Structure 1
């Protein structure tokens, strides 16, 4: 008994607290915002991504090999860099995946393929996302669970790197339509053969969904908004021998191996505002809502950017306002040219919209 207490008890305590500490992950990452006039072309060329600062790169230093097959990252064996981006106004996530591998394994037609496995949970709803982890035990590993549960609230893209003679990704679930246009697009660039070493560039975008069933008719896209956190996670599965069914490494961004099937283990990625170099010092912007169509009342909402001290609205019917967010009642039906002029310490700006505001 004494031997048990002295030898095993500290080990048990250490193991317990080690698991507790390991499960707590306070890391967060950033998603770069591309300006609307610099949206990357999906062609496998990383040139468009040079404007993304290195502070957005997620590299091997953020990954851990959780299968015990590798003790530490070795750039001569595998070296990976990932950048994530978005464009304001589009519910798309853009990815640049650049990887060097000393042995690219992609000659077989099935799952045995070097892989970039991506988990997307844009509304951070968390929870299991594949039928193997279904909370209703009677639906675990059943086709009912597959069609009604897997990939519905969060998505898993099992991306083949590279995909030669096969589709670019397997979608874990009954919604393979999400990997096709108009919901996704991908391109790769590489010049090596199976078994050789070299660098591969994978460029793609996807559409995240709050709900994605086996048909797109009832799907609900996730809304991407500035400064919002979304849930993302990925793993790199590295095969080094076509004759060995087992992989040579499972490099995980999460500290929980089963992140591939549970969105609760994803990490927060913040949808960042534009970097300062892409912002105008002052830029007039506005939107409108018809709040009472019978009384011809329209609410105008200022969305201008920069330090603004004054607003001047011309509603197109001879009436003006200096309020930031005015509500205006039109007396007559018609199509109107509405103009907003803003001014501040760094200049002036105007935004005119021709006939957007049309009143019956």
Structure 2
């Protein structure tokens, strides 16, 4: 009777996941922002990542083996830690993957390899993105779908951990160019042989794309902006026997197994602002947009950080403004030095740009 109750309970839980699991998954995760002067070097050394707080770490406690082979995580078998980061102004996602495995399987040339599989949907457009899930059934599993659809609006990387005698990753789709410079880079550090246990450190970065077809000239990068969410997910495919084609576990961050080909099953990762320790108390920043070149009309946009009480703009032509975001019309053509001075309870700051503003 006890065995029967356990079976019923297990089936009930599986049914709950199948019908409600993803829709009830309200987890959100954070993407750490590296300061521009602390961008991590892609060298397989995790020291650059020590400044990332523990609150950004995604560990085994967030994963589940949806193959059903491993009822719970066992750090003696497999233990992983993932950190994700970004740098303001760069459309790159940086990753640190640290893993212990009691059996590293990587001696073969194909997909039978311990794998860190990630999917990224930079603009959260969602939906299926591999050929076998094409909504037009006439195109399912066709080369037409592969070239026009597979990996185009969201991308999947099978990252070999480690990759020995083969490329560091399979970019699953018709765009293998995304896994090389200037779109990505990787470095790995380990000292074990196939079949042995040990720890692996993998550093890599990738570029997410809103559109990535076979031709890189037509590609459109996803724009990464502070506080924006991106769609991201991963799974660890763990092989423990080179002679067994089946894996020993599919440790999934999503509650939907087909996250590997459907971006709707990714999870929201927020591109976080700088942590307070890396921010100045007050910091003048600004940009501009030429509204009408014929009329020499320029809009100035304040991007300063900190508590600010006053703004003072010097437009470089003898005129000034105390507005936060002024629009200024220049009388004469020329190249101008524009200066923004700000002031607040914690001090003053100035930002001058030499000849950036030019009108004809």
TM-score with structure 1 length normalisation? Answer: 0.95
The match for 1:236 is: 236
Instruction: For 1:10 and 1:63, locate their aligned partners in 2 and report how far apart those are by CA, in whole Å.
Output: 21
CA contact (8 A) 2:118 2:233 kept: yes
Q: Deviations over 1:232-267 (max 9, x none)?
A: 000000011111111111100001111101111000
The match for 2:21 is: 22
The match for 2:287 is: 287
The match for 2:75 is: 75
Instruction: For 1:345 and 1:58, locate their aligned partners in 2 and report how far apart those are by CA, in whole Å.
Output: 38
Indicate how the Cα distance of structure 1 residues 246 and 225 shifts in structure 2: closer, same or farther if over 3 A, else same.
same
Q: Deviations over 1:290-333 (max 9, x none)?
A: 11101111111100000101001111111111111111111111
Indicate how the Cα distance of structure 1 residues 9 and 110 shifts in structure 2: closer, same or farther if over 3 A, else same.
closer
Displacement of 1:22 in angstroms is 2.2
Instruction: For 1:99 and 1:157, locate their aligned partners in 2 and report how far apart those are by CA, in whole Å.
Output: 18
Displacement of 1:68 in angstroms is 1.2
Q: Deviations over 1:98-125 (max 9, x none)?
A: 0000111111111110000000001111
Q: Please list, as runs of the form range in 1=range in 2, the aligned pairs for 1:1-360 lying within 5 A after superposition.
A: 16-17=15-16, 19-23=18-22, 24-360=24-360
- SS of the aligned residue for 2:294 comes to coil
Q: How many residues align?
A: 353
Instruction: For 1:200 and 1:56, locate their aligned partners in 2 and report how far apart those are by CA, in whole Å.
Output: 19
Instruction: For 2:190 and 2:103, locate their aligned partners in 1 and report how far apart those are by CA, in whole Å.
Output: 13
Q: Deviations over 1:312-356 (max 9, x none)?
A: 111111111111111111111111111000000000000000011
Indicate how the Cα distance of structure 1 residues 88 and 316 shifts in structure 2: closer, same or farther if over 3 A, else same.
same
Displacement of 1:11 in angstroms is 9.8
Displacement of 1:20 in angstroms is 3.0
Instruction: For 1:122 and 1:334, locate their aligned partners in 2 and report how far apart those are by CA, in whole Å.
Output: 40
Indicate how the Cα distance of structure 1 residues 328 and 11 shifts in structure 2: closer, same or farther if over 3 A, else same.
closer
Q: Deviations over 1:188-224 (max 9, x none)?
A: 0111111111100000000000010101111111011
CA contact (8 A) 2:17 2:255 kept: no
- SS of the aligned residue for 2:99 comes to strand
Instruction: For 1:234 and 1:264, locate their aligned partners in 2 and report how far apart those are by CA, in whole Å.
Output: 13
RMSD: 1.6
Instruction: For 2:95 and 2:34, locate their aligned partners in 1 and report how far apart those are by CA, in whole Å.
Output: 12
Instruction: For 1:10 and 1:44, locate their aligned partners in 2 and report how far apart those are by CA, in whole Å.
Output: 44
Indicate how the Cα distance of structure 1 residues 294 and 182 shifts in structure 2: closer, same or farther if over 3 A, else same.
same
Q: Deviations over 1:63-99 (max 9, x none)?
A: 0001111111000110000000001111100000000
Indicate how the Cα distance of structure 1 residues 12 and 234 shifts in structure 2: closer, same or farther if over 3 A, else same.
closer
Instruction: For 2:8 and 2:224, locate their aligned partners in 1 and report how far apart those are by CA, in whole Å.
Output: 49
Deviates more, 1:327-336 or 1:142-151: 327-336
- SS of the aligned residue for 1:91 comes to coil
Indicate how the Cα distance of structure 1 residues 34 and 129 shifts in structure 2: closer, same or farther if over 3 A, else same.
same
Deviates more, 1:8-17 or 1:82-91: 8-17
Indicate how the Cα distance of structure 1 residues 307 and 58 shifts in structure 2: closer, same or farther if over 3 A, else same.
same
Task: Specify every segment of 5 or more residues in structure 2 that has no aligned partner in the other structure, as ranges.
Answer: 1-6
Instruction: For 1:158 and 1:124, locate their aligned partners in 2 and report how far apart those are by CA, in whole Å.
Output: 20
Instruction: For 1:337 and 1:253, locate their aligned partners in 2 and report how far apart those are by CA, in whole Å.
Output: 51
Deviates more, 1:14-23 or 1:229-238: 14-23
Instruction: For 2:17 and 2:321, locate their aligned partners in 1 and report how far apart those are by CA, in whole Å.
Output: 63
CA contact (8 A) 2:121 2:230 kept: yes
- SS of the aligned residue for 2:146 comes to helix
Displacement of 1:15 in angstroms is 6.3
- SS of the aligned residue for 1:234 comes to strand
Q: Deviations over 1:145-187 (max 9, x none)?
A: 1001100000000000011110000011000001111100000
